A and B are shown apart, each in its own frame.
Chain A
Amino acid sequence: MTRRLSLAPWTYGFIVALAMWAATTAYSGFGSAGATLSGALAFGAFSVLVGTGQMFVVASGPGNIDLSVPSVLTLAAYLSMTVMQGSDGMLLPGLAAALAVGTVAGAANFLAIVALRLPPIIATLAWSFVFQSLAYNLGGQATLKPPAGLSRFTAMSLGGVQLMPVAVMVLTLVAMVALKRTVWGRQLLATGQSEPAARLAGIGVGRVRLAAYMLCGTTAALAGFLLAGFSGGAALNMGDAYLMESIAVVVLGGTSVAGGQANAVGIWGAALFFNLMATMLNTFGIQAGVRFLLTGALIILIVALVPRPRVR
Chain B
Amino acid sequence: MMNNPTPPGTDAAPRADSDIAFIEVRDVRKSYDAVHALGGVDFHLKPGEVVGLVGHNGAGKSTLMNVLAGTVERSSGDFNLGGHPIGPWSAALAQQAGLRCIFQELSLCTNLTAAENTRIVHRPLRGIGWRRRARHMIGPVLDEIFPGHGIDLDRKVADLPIGERQMVEIARAFTQTDIGLRCVILDEPTSALGHEATEQLLAHIRRAAGRGIACILITHRLNEILAVCDRTVVMVDGKVVAERQTAGLSRSALVELMGSIERPRERTAGKIASVAAPVMRHAGRDAADLTIEVRKGEIIGFAGLDGHGQRERLRAMFHAARGQRQALPGAYVAGDRGSEGVFALWSIADNLTIRSLNALTRGGMISSAAARKLAGSWSDKLKVKAPSIDTPILSLSGGNQQKVLFARALASDAQIIFLDDPMRGVDVGTKQEVYRLIRAEAERGRSFVWYSTELEELTNCERIYVFREGRAATSLVGDAIDTGRILQASFGGENV
Contacts and interface: CB of A to CB of B under 8 A. Distances in A.
Contacts of A181: 365-366, 368
> Interface of chain B, helix or strand or loop or mixed?
mixed
B366 A182 contact: yes
B340 A194 contact: yes
B394 interface: yes
30 contacts: A181-B365, A181-B366, A181-B368, A182-B364, A182-B366, A183-B357, A183-B358, A183-B361, A183-B366, A186-B354, A186-B357, A187-B354, A189-B346, A190-B346, A193-B345, A194-B339, A197-B340, A197-B342, A200-B332, A200-B340, A201-B332, A201-B408, A202-B330, A202-B332, A202-B355, A202-B412, A260-B345, A261-B345, A309-B345, A312-B394
B334 interface: yes
B331 interface: yes
Nearest to A183: B357
Contacts of A189: 343, 345-346
A193 B334 CA distance: 16
B341 interface: yes
Contacts of A198: 343
A194 B346 CA distance: 11
Given A182-B366, A194-B344, 4 more contacts: A183-B357, A183-B358, A197-B339, A312-B344
A196 interface: yes
Contacts of A5: none
A267 B464 CA distance: 55
Given A187-B357, A200-B334, A202-B330, A193 B340 contact: no
B322 interface: yes
B33 interface: yes
* Among all A-B residue pairs, the 7 with the closest Cβ atoms: A200-B332, A183-B357, A193-B343, A196-B340, A181-B365, A181-B366, A201-B355
Q: Which of the listed residues B318, B354, B408 has the most CB atoms from chain A within 10 Å of its own CB?
A: B354
Contacts of A200: 318, 332, 334, 340-341
Contacts of A305: none
B414 to A, nearest CB: 8
B394 A202 contact: no
Interface string A171-213: 0000001000111001101100110111011110000000000
Contacts of A203: 354
A1 interface: yes
Q: Which of the listed residues A181, A182, A187, A260 has the most CB atoms from chain B within 10 Å of its own CB?
A: A181
A260 B330 contact: no
Contacts of A183: 357-358, 361, 366
Q: Which of the listed residues A177, A181, A193, A201 has the most CB atoms from chain B within 10 Å of its own CB?
A: A201
B458 to A, nearest CB: 22
Nearest to B331: A202
A194 B364 contact: no
A187 B353 CA distance: 11
Contacts of A309: 345
